[in-house]
Structure 1
Amino acid sequence: MSSLPLSPLSKLAEPTVLAFEDQSYTLAELNALADGLAARLSEHGVTAGGRVALMTSNRPEFVVALHAIWRLAAAAVLISPAWKRAEVEHALAVTDPSHAVGDQAVLSELMPMLNLDEPISPGNPVPGSTPRPDADAVLAFSSGTTGLPKAVRHSHKSLQAAVRNWRGALKLTARDRIQIATPPSHILGLLNIMTAMQAGAWMRLHRRFDVDRMLSHIQDDRITVEMAVAPIALAIASHPGLESYDLSSLRFIVWGATPVSASIAETVTRRTGVGWLPAYGTTELPVIACNPIGGARLDSVGRPVPGVDVRVTSLQTGEPVGPGEVGEIQARSDSLMAGYLPCEATRDVMSDDWYRTGDVGYLDAGGWLRITDRFKEMIKVRGFQVAPAEVEAVLHSHPAVDDCAVFGIPNGADGESVVAAVAARQPVEATELVALVGERLASYKRLSRVEFVPEIPRLPSGKVLRRVLKERYGCTSDS
């Protein structure tokens, strides 16, 4: 992965492979920019085995920076551009990068940073190191059910396996044209960028999601594969002028990161004639299952993709169960992460060589996988994971909060909304607590509602009974 993959077409001509706003790039141009940035990073002391924090919006320079880091056999620490100071400080403390590249002021305030808003000069290949297949390629963040976000270590080998599995599931080729609006620090954005590059597909990056811009580019760029999480799907389904766009180039729209809302998906198909391809994966194991092209269904995330084994185990005994029996979904594959940082957190999600997803569901007799619940207490908002403990820690810092518990409730637009139950020791306005969380944490972790309660329901062990809170306060949501 030390250099950008060459498209089969590039030997005949120099086609544009990446577009961003009014800019376009060929593979040769991207390679030259990656060489130039690699030289600068080398001059600043980046060496094989080092870690480089990468915090940037979705832009071509992300692709350049990622490959520049790999040219030096270093690893990229992917930090969400939505994160605020405390979150970035935690990420840096967990991963301890020696250098930084990005376009976010918060990162530059915490450590010296090469600013991607400054022009990158093309360069020649620099003497570097070829990274070992088992060496770390990226560290992406995935929140646990307790504590702060953990860094997920992916090696070059595991990322290549994930790309191979995703490319095979989508049947992506150099004839495809895709666009990506999800953040590159999120595993879905990273996976789509890498898979498009490997396949030689044409790709457009969007700095942020805008439904009108997205629909216009499907029409004008003749996009063949569209990626959607729940808010994107809802925006398409509810667009008043949807029928005015020519979406006939689309082979399908991928629904990922959140459970499919059948009514929304069916509305889009009815209005456009375009079908959906539900898929399932995690940061730790990016591609677990995907619906078959031409035979997709909305009531399942599909069948396990080739190269990934899936089993369901009893929630009581941990032993494998048969078809139709509900239990915890576990998976194993060459695409599985190398582990977490902190290292000790890895033990909690591994059973021998099986990764415990924390999701509950079953495999039917035909091998179709269905997810019915989440064993973990994670809240999933717009495809991003929110750890209740992280939000609770912010709330506990307020002098008026005696106890609190954070939980998620269904929200058709965002997947889930974040709600806090608060036992206060003195009067405090809900808006004040909402503002506190908004100041400290990323926007997708914001509270949609605060419920003031006499006490937080807990087991004798101290564990919060979140299910009780969901049943009691989960009927309505402000968002």
Structure 2
Amino acid sequence: MPKPVYPHLPLDGLLRRAAVRDPAGWAVRTGPSGRSGPSTVTFAELDAQADRIAAHLEEDCGRRGARVGVANTLDPVFAAAYYGTVRSGNTVVLVNPLLKETGLVHVFTAAAVEVAFVPTATAELLLKLSDRLPALRTVVVTDAPDGVVPGDAVPLAEVLDRTAERSSLPEAVDLDADACIQFTTGTTGRPKGVRLTHRNLVANAAQISAAHRLGSDSVLLNHLPLYHVMHLNSAVYAGACQVLCPDPDPIASLALAAEVSATHYYGLPARLHALALDDRITGPFPAGRSLTAVLSGGTALASGAARALSERLGVPVVQGYGMAELSPLSHCQDPRRPKAGSVGPPVPGTECRIVHLDTRTPLDVYATGEVQVRGPQVMAGYLDDTEPPRIDADGWFSTGDVGYRNEDGVLFLVDRLGDVFKYDNELVSPSTVEEVVRADPRVADCIVSGWPDPVHGSVVWLGLVLRDPTAPGLLDRIDSIVEGAGERLTEAEQIRRVEVLGAVPRNHVGKPERAALRRDIRRRAAAEAAL
């Protein structure tokens, strides 16, 4: 298969191209119709806003290559600030607006952020932390329509009020220069700053657009808590309309999807899992004729939940695979024919192989090992150059995930390399055990980890969240759940320790906080062994 050809454009060139092709086309729409109607931004308007923000940053920063923090709120202003930053010749640093003091200090100091576009709550924290953020010079508040902002911050309206005349920006842009720094979720340690170039992000936008089958007539319902550049860049590449749904209620998101005749619905696995169990869905999705797929991302959605949701909504539920280091997507199921239990084949222009965990030699189909990926979306490197780059001399990136491929090149993930553990020298995948346990209708959620054991190395520990924790016969129900799961598990996978939890600890994108759980379990196991 010939390698695809990607647009020879800087990242913000995707928006400029969309504005030229369809200036009146809707780029972003927010919320349902109401008395005042939904808020919509056309491609021409979004492009003009990016120009004004670029002009402001040219003056404020006074040079190219400065780092500008942009909070990825679920709001059109994120798109304007994101593209405006790269258009000014500076690098956008993605800032999670849910971060607290420690997280903000880490991101802003590691990236030496000089200017920030953030909502009021984040701006107040940054001003409070100003003595610990010596590089930060300007804070622009993005959600102050009345112009009232804390301290000496600048309201966004003041930035957008200016003319967009810019003369210093050269026409030529180095496509291998950093366009964006995205921090990892930190599930396996301290969040790392990932350097992504214009070429990385433009290529991946094209790859995602092809894999998700997007076109200029596509309408994308975004039911995520934050804006993700994966969905922004691919939609702008395709010239598609994005509809943002900030309401966390999944039924409200379905109603909005029906109202706007959405063709694609994007959601987090935790929300989609809840949607699959929601008793308020009593029939096929009302906009089933327009909706072509529900797309899940962020972490794995249990195949049972995906199947149940697909049956309830009457459309395919599609899963993919990627990470910040991959800009972020490397694999995706075919929306027309999703392969159950897999994350699909590589997206166009991407290679994948499986290597032995110890010898690092490539493995045949169906053999389990570490997943490696090679393609134009592989990051330039980490912000901290002391971090191991995980990219070999031939361009293969070691993902840290364990999986296998079938004869068609479709990837099946087993688990994170750091999450699997050994029982009598047999690898145990927490995700495999979790999927079996979640199949029990009495289980709302669960998480599995290895509990250190002096005889077997580790045994399965299960954290169990019950759908009805107040019902009588708690111990009998737990025993029944464990016994039922045990019939479908190997000897190494048998559940030997159980705790009832109020909720599974998860981060802002719904990923289980496994590293923190492992630390807690090791501490408790050591204390128990000392008795």
The TM tier, using the shorter chain, reads 0.7 to 0.9
How many angstroms apart in 1 are the aligned matches of 2:248 and 2:310? 21
The one of 71, 82, 90 equivalent to 1:74 is 90
Q: Which residue of 1 aligns with 2:260?
A: 221
Q: Distance between the aligned counterparts of 1:291 and 1:137, measured in 2?
A: 28
Q: How many Å apart are 1:69 and its aligned residue?
A: 0.5
Pair 1:236 & 2:275 matched:
yes
Q: Is the 8 A contact 2:320 2:344 kept in 1?
A: yes
Q: State the 1:319 CA deviation.
A: 0.7
Q: State which of 340, 344, 350 in structure 2 corresponds to 1:308.
A: 350
Q: Does 1:16 align with 2:22?
A: no
1:365 alignment counterpart: 407
- Contact map agreement 2:19 2:44 (CA 8 A) in 1: no
Equivalent in the alignment of 2:492: none
Alpha-carbon deviations, 1:449-476, whole Å to 9, x = none? 8998795668xxxxxxxxx99xxxxxxx
Aligned to 2:372: 330
TM-score (norm 2): 0.70
Distance 1:8 1:71 in 2: 15
How far the C-alpha of 1:5 sits from its partner, in A, is: 2.4
2:110 to 84, 94, 117: 94
State the SS of the aligned residue for 2:205. Answer: helix
Map of 1:5 onto structure 2: 15
- 1:473 matched to which residue of 2? none
Q: Which position in structure 2 is the counterpart of 1:167?
A: 209
Q: 1:132 aligns with which of 174, 179, 196?
A: 174
1:335 and 1:12 map into 2 onto residues whose CA distance is 27
**Bigger shift: 331-340 or 123-132?**
123-132
Give the letter for the 2:331 counterpart: A
Q: Deviations over 1:246-274 (max 9, x none)?
A: 13111011122222312212222222211
How far apart in 2 are the matches of 1:367 and 1:51? 39
Aligned match of 2:244: 205
1:51 maps onto 2:37 in alignment: no
| Residues 92 and 454 of structure 1: CA distance in aligned 2, closer, same or farther (over 3 Å) | closer
Is 1:115–2:167 an aligned residue pair?
no
**Deviation at 1:76?**
0.6
What does residue 60 of structure 1 align with?
76
Question: What TM-score, normalized to structure 1?
Answer: 0.77
Tell me, what secondary structure is at the counterpart of 2:409? coil
Pair 5,262 (structure 1): closer, same or farther in 2 beyond 3 Å: same
Cα distance in 2 between the residues matched to 1:453 and 1:235: 27
Letter paired with 2:242: M
The alignment partner of 1:344 has SS state of: coil
Maintained 8 Å contact 2:273/2:301 = no
Aligned residues: 412
Once the two structures are TM-superposed, the CA of residue 307 in structure 1 deviates from its matched residue by 0.8
1:278 and 2:294 matched: no
Matches within 5 A, 1:405-444: 410=434
Query: Per chain length, whose mean CA-contact separation is higher, i.e. which structure has more relative contact order (CA < 8 Å, sep 6+)?
Result: 1
- Which residues of 2 match residues 294-305 of structure 1 at below 5 A? 294-305=336-347
Cα distance change of structure 1 residues 48 and 99 upon mapping to structure 2, 3 Å threshold: same
CA contact (8 A) 1:145 1:377 kept: no
Higher Cα radius of gyration: 2
Distance 1:67-1:46 versus aligned 2 partners, 3 A rule: farther
Whether contact under 8 Å (1:141, 1:150) holds in the other structure is: yes
Q: Which residue of 1 aligns with 2:125?
A: 106
